[in-house]
Amino acid sequence: MPVGAGVEGAPEIFTPNRFKGKRVLVTGAAQGIGLAVANRIAHENGSVFLVDRSELVHEVAEGLFDVSCGGIGSATADLETWEGAESMVAAATEAFDGFDVAINIVGGTIWAKPFEHYAPEEIEKEVTRSLFTTLWSVRAELPALIDNGGGTIVNVSSVATRGVNRVPYAASKGGVNALTSALALEAAEKNVRVVATAPGGTLAPERKVQRGPGPEGEQEKQWYQEIVDQTIDSSLFKRYGTLDEQAAPIVFMASPEASYITGSVLPVAGGDQG
């Protein structure tokens, strides 16, 4: 089995050929949930176009070349900007002559602290990272899907819309939920499904590209630990999920098996509804 940067072979459970003939765009694909999703779709014989801000995405894509019966492509893009989202769609369209599914995963809290301690510029950065990356991506992807005759958009939100010490992130993911439900109303007549999953805490290897500065000092470490404690306590299973446990429902929602689901946000957090 080919091995790239963090690509470890087939998931324990997957559905062969579920994405055969489908072209799938995956953002945030260099690591974490995005990598797990791209890996699963490749093993289900979809053509996968991987996008990330990190050059690492090309190494990950190379590790998937021999996995899928479809094609594999990759591009770097800064999805915090409209120009980055436009360039991503242009690259995917050039590589695969369009795409059928777009899975938008880029996002993630940068700081962990009570809201009164956030500086205004930090709030703006959190919203740019976890709302505008999806907003710009969807705006760029939608016309391409409409021109393609329809398709599916899967956004990755979070159950942290009800969580401590990350209000700007929570507000951003609330925006992703609203984007999903509102756009589903508009897009259904154009044969485009719009859905989302809302992950809870997820176990993952140490990030190769960090989202921001880690906790500094005892106070910041305590604030971060409060997030961990609340996340585990809110899960009925009292644990974090795995990457496979997050990738599986994302891939299901993206697949033809979910063809009668739109406008829904599926919590994937061990019973925590967010």
**pLDDT for residue 9 is more than 80:** no
Q: Between residues 68 and 38, which one has the greater pLDDT? A: 38
pLDDT in tens, 47-56: 999 999 999 9
If you average pLDDT over residues 223-231, what whole number do you get?
97
Among residues 118, 169, 224, 240, which one is catalytic? 169
* DSSP string over 91-153: HHHHHHSS-SEEEE--------S-GGG--HHHHHHHHIIIIIHHHHHHHHHHHHHHHTT-EEE
pLDDT in tens, 88-119: 999 999 999 999 999 999 999 999 999 999 99
Which percentage of the chain shows pLDDT scores above 70? 96
3-state secondary structure of 22: coil
pLDDT in tens, 117-168: 999 999 999 999 999 999 999 999 999 999 999 999 999 999 999 999 999 9
Helix 167-187, helix 133-147: angle, nearest 10: 20
Whole-number Å distance between alpha carbons of 62 and 64: 5
Helix 167-187, helix 120-127: angle, nearest 10: 30
Domains located in the chain, CATH noted: 23-268 (3.40.50.720)
Residue 169 annotated as catalytic: yes
Distances in Å between the Cα of 109 and the Cα atoms of 69, 122, 155, 161, 172 are 35, 11, 16, 12, 10
Q: Between residues 68 and 212, which one has the greater pLDDT? A: 68
At residue 7, the pLDDT reads 60
